[in-house]
Amino acid sequence: MSNECVLMDDHEDGLCPASYCRCTRFQVLCSRRYETHHWFHFTGQLSILFARIPPHRTMEDAGKGITASELKELRRVFDYLADYLPKKQIYKDLNPLVERRAKLQQARKATFDTKVQNAEGKQMSEEEIDDEIQTLGVKIDEYQAYIDEYDSAPNRKVHPKDLSAALLSLGKKCSKKEIEDMIWEVDENLDGCVDWDEFKLMFQRNISDTTGLEPFQLFNVVQFMMYDKDNSGNVTVDETMHMLYARYGKARLESQMKALFGEDLKTADGDGELSFEEYLKAVSIRIPKKKKGKDKK
């Protein structure tokens, strides 16, 4: 098989997601997924026009592999994303119960007279507080058991709906097609999802890439979430510093921090935090946009 890229003439924006990727591998995947479409070949040189050149990456970085801190955070992000949507729905019911129990426990331990009201707005006695804490504990354990069941599943995967919901929580609304393309770029077995092996391989290939031809859309989502350790939707200087130091060392830490947060490490808006959109701009990633005024067939 020749080392060519493949372009699909009726793909959105006229560009197959594979055209800036590993050319030979994606020819095989494209032919399997889009076998009913019309294709034409063009030389691999053209794909360079659509490539992202990895910022500040050297051959030394490529040979380093995944660090221990990166692997730990990568696993955390995978566990967070896998079955994200059903777990989010459980947490929606669980979190108010946890907050209520914490409030009651705080009132129970307080040395001063803390007034707590029940659902009817009446002040609760110590016995009533204890009873509700016990009842809440049972309900919380039930919900947590459901979450643990998802997290302990040996074959858990990141599904399109999981990724879509997670991106929406970061303020990025993507179309169904954009999500499918993002997954398709790293979906080795073509099952429409991303398992742990594919997830880890995607990260390894990106940190090792010095050509700019590696698919990077999912990588940037994952990298941001790895920095965002508390899942707040923003990353701070402190959150990123440890992993950047582990990868780039003391000599290059400052330049990498400035690449993300600006010269004074305060970000463009001065709050010292990066939202997901700000992060994408900081690493010079083009966010795919739909064409306007496209002729309807």
What CATH number has the domain bearing residue 219?
1.10.238
pLDDT score for 23: 47
Residues 120 and 141 placed together within one structural domain of the fold:
yes
Q: Are residues 265 and 171 in the same domain?
A: yes
**Which residue reads 């954009």 in tokens?**
178
Do 77 and 220 lie in a common domain? yes
Residues 200 and 119 in one domain: no
Q: How far apart are CA 269 and CA 282, in angstroms?
A: 12
Residue 258 in this model has a pLDDT that exceeds 60 = yes
Per the CB < 8 A criterion, the answer to whether 241 and 257 are in contact is yes
| Residue of 239 and 175 predicted with greater confidence | 175
Whether 232 and 269 map to the same domain: the answer is yes
pLDDT for res 235:
81
In a domain, 293, yes or no: no
Whether residue 177 is found in the same domain as residue 267: yes
Check if the beta carbon of residue 67 is closer than 8 Å to that of residue 247.
yes
Please report whether residue 295 resides in a domain: no
Query: Residue 18: which of 216, 191, 224 has the closest Cα?
Result: 216
Examine the domain organization and report whether 206 and 253 are in the same domain. yes
Q: Does residue 297 fall inside a structural domain? A: no
Q: Which of 111, 133, 151 is the last residue of a domain?
A: 151
Residue with tokens 């997954």: 183
Residue 294 counted as domain residue: no
**Quick one: tokens of 124?**
């609760």
Report pTM.
Answer: 0.69
Domain match, 76 and 111 both:
no
Q: Check whether 95 has a pLDDT greater than 60.
A: yes
- Range of the structural domain that residue 140 is part of: 84-151
Pick the range with the lowest mean pLDDT from 48-52, 88-92, 105-109, 140-144: 48-52
Instruction: Identify the band that residue 198 occupies on the pLDDT scale cut at 50, 70 and 90.
Output: very high
Query: 178: burial class by Cβ within 10 Å (0-12, 13-18, 19+)?
Result: buried
Residue 22 pLDDT class (50, 70, 90 cuts): very low
Note whether 143 and 256 are same-domain residues.
no
Q: With 90 as the cut, is the pLDDT of residue 31 above it?
A: no
Q: What is the pLDDT of residue 110?
A: 77
Q: Are residues 141 and 195 in the same domain?
A: no
Q: Would you say residue 260 lies in a domain? A: yes
Query: Is 289 a member of any domain?
Result: no
Q: List the structure tokens of 83.
A: 């079955």
**Which of these three, 151, 171, 189, is where a domain ends?**
151
Q: Which of 112-116, 153-157, 253-257, 288-292 has the lowest mean pLDDT?
A: 288-292
Tell me what the mean pLDDT of segment 270-292 comes to: 64
The answer to whether residue 48 scores a pLDDT higher than 60 is: no
Identify the pLDDT of residue 130. 93
Q: Which of 125, 151, 177 is the last residue of a domain?
A: 151
Average pLDDT, the chain: 74
Structural domains counted in the chain: 3
Is 105 a domain residue?
A: yes
Burial 26-65 (b: 16+ CB within 10 A, else e): bbebbeebbeeeeeeeeeeeebeebbbebeebeeebeebe
Q: Give a yes or no: residue 118 inside a domain.
A: yes
